[in-house]
Amino acid sequence: MQLFDLKNVNYLYLNRIHALNDISLSIEQGEHIAILGANGSGKSTLLKLLDGLIFPSSGIVKAFGKTLTENILDGEGGDFPRFFRKKVGLIFQNSEAQLFCPTVLDEIKFGPLQLDIAKTDINQRINDVMGMLNIENLKDRAPYTLSGGEKKKVAIASVLSINPDVLLLDEPTNGLDPRTQRWLVELLIELRKIGKTIIIATHDLEIVEEVSERAVVFNEDHRIVADGKAKVILNDTALLMGVNLIHEHSHRHIEKSKLTF
> Residue 247's Cα: distance from chain center in Å?
25
Query: Is 50 within 8 Å of 4 (Cβ atoms)?
Result: yes
- In whole angstroms, how close is the CB of 19 to ligand ATP at the nearest point? 3
First to last CA, the chain: 45
Q: Where are the beta strands (DSSP E) in 68-109?
A: 88-91
Query: Binding partner of residue 14 among ligand ATP, Mg ion, none, CB under 5 to 8 Å per kind?
Result: ligand ATP
Query: Binding partner of residue 131 among Mg ion, ligand ATP, none, CB under 5 to 8 Å per kind?
Result: none
Query: Binding partner of residue 152 among ligand ATP, Mg ion, none, CB under 5 to 8 Å per kind?
Result: none
- In whole angstroms, how close is the CB of 20 to ligand ATP at the nearest point? 8
- In whole angstroms, how close is the CB of 12 to ligand ATP at the nearest point? 9
44 counts as binding Mg ion under rule CB under 5 A: yes
User: What x/- string results for residues 78 through 107 when contact with Mg ion is judged by CB under 5 A?
Assistant: ---------------x--------------
What residue ranges bind ligand ATP (CB under 6 A)? 13-14, 17, 19, 37, 39-45, 93
User: By C-alpha distance, which of 118, 222, 112 is closest to 163?
Assistant: 112
Whole-angstrom distance, CA of residue 208 vs CA of residue 156? 19
Q: Is 141 buried (19+), middle (13-18) or exposed (0-12) by CB count in 10 A?
A: middle
- Using CB under 5 A as the criterion, which residues of the chain lie in contact with Mg ion when the complex forms? 43-44, 93
